[in-house]
Amino acid sequence: ELEWGRGMLGRRRLTSDLSPRRRGNQRPVESGPAVVFVGADAKYMVAFRGQLFRNFQERGYKVVVIATPLPGFDPATLEAMGVEFIPWGLKKACLNPLGEFEPVLSLWRALRRLKPKIVFAHTIKPVIYTMIAAALAGVARRVAMIPGLGYSFTGVVDVKRIEVDPSDVRVVGAA
């Protein structure tokens, strides 16, 4: 559960201890080697990785999702699938490295405790933090999933209504 706590600089902020929460009629989480999915939006993870969760469960893996529970997400969705959900206090818009230390540290602690066989990280910020935390926690198999093509491959970059035509771009230093 997310709760208000104090950050490194004494400011009040939303934190999570990343301990799993279980409620009344939740299906028991499968035992076996763990596979962990880390992302910025728990609802997105369910919608687009739900089948992957089931595939791992069918092969005997315990599936754990560590993600930010944004508005509109119901943890009962994952609980009904037999997936352990651990809320993560990641802020999507924070650019302060000191402000991001706590989410990385709490993620590292969770990965050390879970000892997963594989970690999947989804979207750029969780990928960066998860790859660092998983390496420090000794997770051998780490998978980064970054959705979308990005502006480099779309042809036209729309930044405050400025358009760049790819035919006008020169490659410098090409042989």
Question: What is the reported pLDDT for 168?
Answer: 55
Residue 61 to residue 54: CA distance in whole angstroms: 9
Question: What is the reported pLDDT for 149?
Answer: 64
Question: What is the reported pLDDT for 132?
Answer: 94
Q: What value, to the nearest 5°, has the Cα angle with vertex 139 and ends 136 and 141?
A: 130
Question: What is the reported pLDDT for 152?
Answer: 58
Which pTM does this prediction carry? Answer: 0.69
Residue 37 identity (one-letter amino acid): F
Find the farthest-apart pair of alpha carbons in the chain and give their distance in angstroms, rounded. 65
Is residue 66 within 8 A of residue 48, CB to CB? The reply is no
Q: What secondary structure does DSSP assign to 114-128, as a single string?
A: H--SEEEEESHHHHH
Question: What is the reported pLDDT for 96?
Answer: 77
Residue 23 identity (one-letter amino acid): R
For the chain, 175 residues long, give each residue's pLDDT as a single digit of tens: 444 454 444 444 444 444 444 444 434 444 689 999 999 989 988 988 999 999 999 999 999 999 988 888 899 999 999 999 999 988 877 777 777 888 899 999 999 999 999 999 998 889 999 999 999 999 999 999 888 766 556 665 555 444 445 555 544 444 4
Q: What secondary structure does DSSP assign to 68-86, as a single string?
A: ---TT--HHHHHHTT-EEE
